Amino acid sequence: MLAKMMRSNLNFMAANTAMQRGVGLIEMAVVLVVGSIIAATVIPSMMDAAQRKKIIATANEISSLMGYARSESLNSGIDIDISFDTDAHTKGVSCALVATQSEAATTKCKCYDANISKSCKVGAGPDGGSMLRTFSIPLTSGITFSTNSLVWPAAGMPGRFSVTYPKLTTTLPDDLKVTISGTRGFKLRVDLSTSGRISICSPDRPEAGYPVCAS
C-alpha cells in the first residue's frame, strides 16, 4: 500500500514538473515575441532620431560656414571663396571649405585634401591664399550633402564661388541650394541667395521645425 502511494506521488510530481516546464517555455516564448515587437518598433525609431539630429547639425554647420565667409569678407575687406568640391564623393566624403586663394591656388585647394593647410597656402601678401575653415563628413556616416546643378563662375572649378566685398553678394548666377540627405529618408536644405541671405528649409515637408522650401 505504501509503495503504491509513493508511486502515485512520484507520478504526480513528474506530471507537475512537466506542466511547469511547459508553462515556463510558453512564458519564454511570449517574452521573446514581445521583445521582438518592441525591438522592431523602438530601434528603427531611435536610428531615425539619431540620423535626424546629425542632419540638423550638418545643416547648421553648413549655414555657419556660409555666414563665416560673409563675416570674414566684411571684416577683412576682400573677396572670400567658398568651395563645395563636386568630386569629393569619389574620395569618400562630403566637404566644403572657406579660403582666401590666389589664382595659382584655386586648382590645388581641395576640401578633402589631407594636407589642406599646406596645399592652400600659396605665396604671401595680398596675392597669397590660405584655407580659413573646412567641414567634412564621411559617406560611411550615412549622410551626404551636395549642391544643385549650377553654372559655376569658373567652368574649370565646379563647386567654387566667392562672397564679394563690400556688398557680400555671391558670384553665382542663381541661388545656391545645398541638400543634406540621410540614408533613412530625412532631408534638409541650406539655401544661399545671390544677395547673401542664408536659410534652412525642408525639401519635402515640414521637418524638425523647419519650413518647406519655397522651390
How do the domains of the chain map onto residue ranges?
48-201
pLDDT in tens, 11-35: 544 555 555 555 567 777 776 776 6
Percent of the chain beyond pLDDT 70? Answer: 70
Q: Evaluate if residue 189 carries a pLDDT over 90.
A: yes
pLDDT at 74 over 70: yes
Confidence bin at 6 (pLDDT 50/70/90):
very low
Set of cell numbers at residue 12? 504526480
Q: Which of 6-15, 25-34, 37-46, 150-159 has the highest mean pLDDT?
A: 150-159
What gap in Å lies between CA 55 and CA 143, rounded to an integer?
7
Q: From the CA atom positions of the chain, what is the Rg in Å?
A: 30
**Could you give the C-alpha distances from 47 to 36, 113, 183, 187, 200, in angstroms and in order?**
16, 31, 11, 15, 23
Of the candidates 172, 145, 150, which has an alpha carbon nearest to the alpha carbon of residue 63?
Answer: 145
In angstroms, the CA 181 to CA 54 distance is 10
Give the CATH number of domain 48-201; options: 3.30.70.20, 3.40.50.300, 3.55.40.10, 1.10.3720.10.
Answer: 3.55.40.10
CA quadruple 54, 60, 62, 67: dihedral, nearest 10: -170
pLDDT at position 12 is 47
- Classify residue 24 as exposed, middle or buried by CB count within 10 Å of its CB (0-12, 13-18, 19+): exposed
Res 148 pLDDT > 50: yes
Higher pLDDT, 161 or 61: 61
Q: Give the integer Cα–Cα distance in Å for 120 and 180.
A: 26
Please state, for a pLDDT cut of 90, what percent of the chain lies above it: 34
